[in-house]
Chains A and B, each alone.
Chain A
Amino acid sequence: MTTQAARTEQPLLSVQDLKIQIQMDNGVMHAVDGVDFDIYKGKTLGLVGESGCGKSLTSRSIISINPKECETTGNIVYHSESEKALNNLNLLSLPPTGKKIRSIRGRKIAMIFQEPMTAFSPMYTIGNQIMEAILIHRTKDKKEAKKIALEMLAKVGISDQEKRFDQYPHEFSGGMRQRAMISMALSCNPELLIADEPTTALDVTIQAQVLELMRELQKELGMAILLVTHDLGIIAQMCDEVAVMYLGKIVEQAPVKEIFYNPKHPYTKGLLKSMPRLGGTKSKRLDSIEGSVPMPIDMPPMCGFYERCKDRIEGVCNTKAVPKTYISDQHSVRCFLYSDQLEGEAQ
């Protein structure tokens, strides 16, 4: 098995063997089952998968905001260059309501959510809510905080900031609200921005605006982005590296061009083929992936994609856990088709 050549650069955040289990009435659900990835400064990592694959839980566990029912194990190591006290810190070992994680949450690692209407409180003005984060993390001076908040609103392209500052979330349109949320998330200059389906609730034209804005701000502020989405189009336009998740596992991880031009895992291939794309014609049938995603409850050690896979090998794929195989330095895949282990057995 080829080994991964170590990157010289230190990752900003390293997720190692992350597992999230949820106790259900009919067994234990392995919602996230051994996820590893690194996020580097100034880069965008895309986490892509269908609903229920565990991508949101994974991203939320980074700042410990998952529901209590989730039993989380593994390591999430955060490396901060600027603050020694936060260097090499295992975020999962911190109590989720403790002082330390709260000093990171919102300040070093910020998050934007899918539905901006539910993420904002309807009872406070937008300005008030943006100022709250600034007052906690950056300054105690209210006047200065307001100045920063107004600057942030201007930065995300909201005009007439003075008036907007005193408005309530319901007075904003969907696109405006998402902009306001981005300005709130970026108000403390985070090193990592987690964006969980940031544009799913928006129209395509507004989506294009918001994505453009995120790209510009990343260039300007140099933060890393973890982009969680189900839309391969957005992944292609935004990401440097992609991790494809299926049933709680990362089945393939590679730089963005590798994923789109040289996909290896049958699931990645299937996803790319089943996507209708502009430029196709009506007569063309879409290649769909048969069946649907099973529930990951008390799964025996086997490939989660086995039942839907066209290239499955009976007696191999359904009998043991799939190891990670490196195709090249940065391209890894969890599939027996590429595993040395299998060839060894065949001989």
Chain B
Amino acid sequence: MTKKILNVENINKYFQVKSKKALFRKPASVHVLNDISFELLEGETLSIVGESGCGKTTLGRCLVRGMDASSGNVYYHTEDGQQIDFLKLKGKHSKQYRRNIQMIFQDPYSSLSPRMSVFDIIAEPLIANFKLSKSEVEQKVMEIAEKTGLNVNYLQRYPHAFSGGQRQRIAIARALIMRPRLIVCDEAVSALDVSIQAQIINLLKDLQEQFQITYIFISHDLSIVQNISDRVAVMHLGKIVELATTESLFSSPKHPYTEALMSAVPQPDPELKKSRIILEGEMPNPANPPSGCHFHPRCAYKTEKCVQQAPELRQVADNHFTACHYAEELNLQGVQDETASAI
């Protein structure tokens, strides 16, 4: 567990936005990812949470190189201990390592080609990467299909014949067939119904145990995140504001934003009377972020210092990093242990 698999250092991403009003003005740029750094250990699940527009999907895409980061480095640690600058790979080299990092997308209705049979969808990455005989491909596809709980008799059908949960299994099978070491799951269960969601989460956990896969799990749903991850990174407006082990984060959050996020989750317990923290206003516009700490306009604990000075991500406890000036002084409210589990 202590072996590193990915080292992300100071990733920045800018999007150019054309101004509609002035034709010849230099296009403005939006700072979508702001100096993101973290380490990823082999076999762990790191969740990235935040509201829409905070840059969590962009970060995921930069890591699989579905998009190029504007600056920064991602070092990939191979199994034999080499360090490779992942973002600078080109051509053949790129292909060799990129197959180790796969991605699963949110919407299984748009991420699978409607014109390919399920067998072809799952086999495509194999055929593109390796020279294998037909029977070898077939054998591998069958094996993976079984592992992901797909009915092997239905593989000649097309995606439209499958339900949402089944389609997500197909997407997982397609990612898994390359035997990746890292899978980036971008809201992989958000589009599914509750009962199906639980099936897919269990499947992801089982596969992790079986193949020692590392996950980056991008989600906005804190209850799922708590259930699946070892560590959690909370993002706000392109920055990681808190990074900690799941236990530490949920029992004693150190950033007011994390506290507010947790408090906002509606709990399935009608008697649970908790003092809800309801954030006023909305996420600030990333094209024109507020001064100092980006969270200060919505923060209940802000002071003059927060308006002027942006806090750095710093260590406040063992394995617990946060970007708040007052992390030590504030007594923030976490989530109590599961007490009301009557059912």
> B202 at interface (Cβ–Cβ under 8 A)?
yes
Give bound CA distance, A310 to B318, whole Å. 44
> A103 at interface (Cβ–Cβ under 8 A)?
no
Partner of A209, one of B165, B228, B279: B279
Give bound CA distance, A257 to B221, whole Å. 24
- Which B residues are CB-close (under 8 A) to A263? 343
Give bound CA distance, A276 to B221, whole Å. 10
> B330 at interface (Cβ–Cβ under 8 A)?
no
B226, A288: Cβ atoms closer than 8 Å: no
B268, A235: Cβ atoms closer than 8 Å: yes
B337, A203: Cβ atoms closer than 8 Å: no
A237, B51: Cβ atoms closer than 8 Å: no
A232, B52: Cβ atoms closer than 8 Å: no
A204, B222: Cβ atoms closer than 8 Å: yes
A residues 243-281 near B (Cβ < 8 Å) are 256-257, 260-261, 263, 269-281
Give bound CA distance, A251 to B250, whole Å. 35
> A99 at interface (Cβ–Cβ under 8 A)?
no
B197, A208: Cβ atoms closer than 8 Å: no
A286, B265: Cβ atoms closer than 8 Å: no
Stretch at the interface among B20-28, B35-43, B75-83, B270-278: B270-278
- Which B residues are CB-close (under 8 A) to A175? 282
B166, A237: Cβ atoms closer than 8 Å: no
> A71 at interface (Cβ–Cβ under 8 A)?
no
The size of the chain B interface, using a CB distance under 8 A, is: 56
Partner of B246, one of A211, A212, A282, A286: A282
Sort chain A's interface into a size bin: 35 or more
Asked if A278 meets B267 with Cβ closer than 8 Å, knowing A209-B279, A273-B343, the reply is yes
B339 to chain A, nearest CB (A): 7
A256, B270: Cβ atoms closer than 8 Å: yes
A274, B195: Cβ atoms closer than 8 Å: yes
A280, B194: Cβ atoms closer than 8 Å: no
A residues 283-337 near B (Cβ < 8 Å) are 284-290, 292-293
Give bound CA distance, A212 to B224, whole Å. 23
- Which B residues are CB-close (under 8 A) to A286? 198, 201-202, 227
> A135 at interface (Cβ–Cβ under 8 A)?
no
> B342 at interface (Cβ–Cβ under 8 A)?
yes
Map CB proximity to B onto A195-239 as digits: 1 under 8 Å, 0 otherwise.
000000001111111011000000000000000001111111100
A276, B166: Cβ atoms closer than 8 Å: no
A282, B229: Cβ atoms closer than 8 Å: yes
> A173 at interface (Cβ–Cβ under 8 A)?
yes
A260, B343: Cβ atoms closer than 8 Å: yes
Partner of B339, one of A206, A208, A279: A279
Hey, which bits of chain B sit against chain A, CB under 8 A? 45, 51-52, 163-166, 193-199, 201-202, 205, 220-224, 226-230, 246-247, 250, 260-272, 276, 278-280, 282-283, 335-339, 342-343
List of 5 A-B pairs having minimum Cβ-Cβ separation, nearest first: A233-B266, A288-B198, A274-B198, A279-B338, A289-B195
Hey, which bits of chain A sit against chain B, CB under 8 A? 50-51, 173, 175-176, 203-209, 211-212, 230-237, 256-257, 260-261, 263, 269-282, 284-290, 292-293
8 further A-B contacts with Cβ under 8 Å, apart from A203-B51, A260-B343, A290-B199, are: A204-B261, A209-B279, A260-B270, A279-B335, A280-B223, A281-B226, A282-B227, A288-B195
